Amino acid sequence: MSVLDAFRLDDKVVIVTGASSGLGVSFARACAEAGADVVLAARRVEKLADTAELVRGTGRRALTVATDVVDPEQCQAMVDAAMTEFGRVDVLVNNAGVGTAVPATRETPDEFRAVVDINLNGSYWAAQACGRVMQPGSSVINISSILGITTAGLPQAAYSASKAAISGLTRDLAQQWGVRKGIRVNAIAPGFFKSEMTDQYKPGYLESVIERAALGRVGDPAELAATLVWLASPAGGYVTGQTIVVDGGVTIT
Choose, from 159, 201, 205, 238, the residue flagged as catalytic: 159
Distance in Å from the first CA to the final CA of the chain: 39
Q: How many helices (H) and strands (E) does the chain have?
A: 9, 7
Cα angle value 230/236/238 (rounded, 5°): 170
Using CB atoms within 10 A of its CB, is residue 44 exposed (0-12), middle (13-18) or buried (19+)? Answer: exposed
Which CA distances in Å does 232 have to 4, 66, 176?
14, 23, 18
Which candidate, 80, 74, 149, places its Cα nearest to that of 118? 74
Rounded Cα gap, residues 67 and 78, in angstroms? 7
User: Do residues 21 and 196 touch, judged by C-beta distance below 8 A?
Assistant: yes
Q: What are phi and psi of 56, to 5 degrees?
A: -65, -30
201 assigned to active site: no
Which CA distances in Å does 105 have to 99, 100, 108, 155, 157?
17, 14, 8, 10, 10
What positions carry a catalytic annotation?
159
